[in-house]
Chain A
Amino acid sequence: MPQLIPTETIIANLRRGEDVNGVTRYLYATYSRSIKGYIRKLGGLPDDAEDIVQEVMITFLHQIVNGQFELREQTDLGAYLIGITRRKWLKKMESETRRRERQHWFATGSDDPQTPETIVLETDYQSRAWAYFQQLGETCRQVLTAFYQDEQSLEDIAAQYELGSVGAVKMRKFRCIQKLLKLADV
């Protein structure tokens, strides 16, 4: 059993982006078994369960970062994650049913039954921030990760990524962030 990390610490760390690796491993070690068991009880396969565990963790992170998760005195993190799991599974099942229906309609030549509501329902919430970040160039991602996550100095980044000078790193960082903001504002 991993050493107990208080829920307050988990939330604070994820919100600040600190020790995400450790917190993720803790959450996985502590709750993945019950999540997988729950999915299997609902008729899911082991691969489904593994996928859902990952989605549940990411969704939990989004909820913390976006302030959707409120820590109350009686909050049971395990029960909360099972709640996310249930919604994820239902959404997956609904999506599967719709996909089969669409295949059926396509085969029989009927109209596509999709409505704007169903499209919204099928579109799983994804972190916009991460999606935008992925759209940046590789050097941008490396520089921003090195500076903000790994907290490397500008000098080290300049040397590691052969950017020449500290000024050049600042300039690159600035442009990358502007691009990120631009992507986010579209």
Chain B
Amino acid sequence: MISEDPVERWEQLEDYLRGRMEDGQSRQLEERMKTDTKLTDELVSVRRAQALLTEALAEQQMRATLRQIRVETSVNTRSASWMPVKWNQVVLWAAAACVLLMSYLSIVPVKLPDAGYDVMALRRIDTTQLSGQQRIAFENFFEGQARMVEGDYVQAAHHFENVLTVEDLRPYFKEAAEWHLAVSYLQSHQFNRASQLYRRLRYCNQCAYEVGWLNRRKMEWKLFIAGLWL
């Protein structure tokens, strides 16, 4: 039954357009519309109102969502804008630290542990009675160290080479002499020799003469830099 009340009739027409009206009532409405032009006009109005509302509500939703996205984006941008500043600072500090480290490794000389007074340099010896060879080793070692202090690395290298000609050196003393020789080579610009010797020292399995991590890095860095110029 089609209502005579305009409000109720509007509800019925909406139900009809939305397909929510019962079949019988739909047929009745359609029959009535054939003769009732006022009812047909009302249906046109309902259809128009629904189209307007669909568009208006869709736009309202879209605008609200876009507003929300804008808020979210600006929050993200604000927090993101902090990130580059932080990362910039981190990168800057890291770069500065790298430059400092590289400068330190390049400038500060390799410092070897003191082996000057190790009188147990040779095996099976009586320290009070050094043989001629043993004395040569000791003298050359100390002479080499003295040359290093004076900055005469060519001569220093020569003395350490003499040390290593002596047979039956205790590993500790031998390694100490080799390290000193490697540094002397490096300082006297004999980079290939320094590099070869260091490679051997670097991969020793049971090092008797222990050189610290930092001094090894200094050695490696200096050899790396030297390698760039070769």
Q: How far is the CB of A136 from chain B (nearest CB, A)?
A: 9
Pair count A-B, CB < 8 A: 97
How far does the alpha carbon of A21 sit from the alpha carbon of B73 in the complex, in Å?
16
Which of A's residues lie within 8 Å of B, judged by CB?
14-17, 20-21, 24-25, 28, 50, 53-54, 57-58, 61-62, 65-66, 127, 129-130, 132-133, 144-145, 148-149, 170-171, 174, 177, 180-181, 184
Asked if A14 and B65 sit within 8 Å, CB to CB, the answer is: no
Asked if A20 and B58 sit within 8 Å, CB to CB, the answer is: yes
Nearest A residue to B69, CB-CB = A28
From A50, A127, A145, A184, name the one whose CB has the most chain B CB atoms within 10 angstroms: A127
Asked if B59 and A130 sit within 8 Å, CB to CB, the answer is: yes
Asked if B8 and A181 sit within 8 Å, CB to CB, the answer is: no
Asked if B59 and A61 sit within 8 Å, CB to CB, the answer is: yes
- Chain B residues near A20 (CB-CB < 8 A): 58, 61-62, 65
Asked if B66 and A57 sit within 8 Å, CB to CB, the answer is: yes
For B, the interface residue count at a CB cutoff of 8 angstroms equals 27
B189 interface residue per 8 A CB criterion: no
- Chain A residues near B92 (CB-CB < 8 A): none
Q: How far is the CB of B189 from chain A (nearest CB, A)?
A: 55
Asked if B53 and A148 sit within 8 Å, CB to CB, the answer is: yes
B133 interface residue per 8 A CB criterion: no
List the 8 closest A-B pairs by CB distance, nearest first. A133-B56, A20-B61, A129-B55, A130-B59, A129-B56, A24-B65, A17-B58, A129-B52
Nearest B residue to A51, CB-CB = B70
Contact digits for B7-41, partner A, Cβ 8 Å, 1 yes 0 no: 11011000000000000000000000000000000
Contact residue among B6, B10, B59 (Cβ-Cβ distance under 8 Å from A127)? B59
- Chain A residues near B89 (CB-CB < 8 A): none
How far does the alpha carbon of A27 sit from the alpha carbon of B61 in the complex, in Å?
14
Asked if A58 and B54 sit within 8 Å, CB to CB, the answer is: no
Q: A24-B66, A180-B52 are in contact. List 6 more A-B contacts (CB 8 A).
A: A17-B61, A54-B66, A58-B66, A62-B59, A127-B59, A184-B52
Asked if A145 and B58 sit within 8 Å, CB to CB, the answer is: no
Given contacts A132-B52, A181-B52, A184-B48, contact A174 B6 (CB under 8 A): yes
Asked if A127 and B66 sit within 8 Å, CB to CB, the answer is: no
- Chain B residues near A57 (CB-CB < 8 A): 62, 66
Asked if A25 and B60 sit within 8 Å, CB to CB, the answer is: no
Contact residue among B7, B11, B57, B70 (Cβ-Cβ distance under 8 Å from A145)? B57
How far does the alpha carbon of A14 sit from the alpha carbon of B53 in the complex, in Å?
13
Nearest A residue to B57, CB-CB = A149
Q: How far is the CB of B61 from chain A (nearest CB, A)?
A: 4
B76 interface residue per 8 A CB criterion: no
Asked if B6 and A130 sit within 8 Å, CB to CB, the answer is: no
How far does the alpha carbon of A47 sit from the alpha carbon of B60 in the complex, in Å?
22
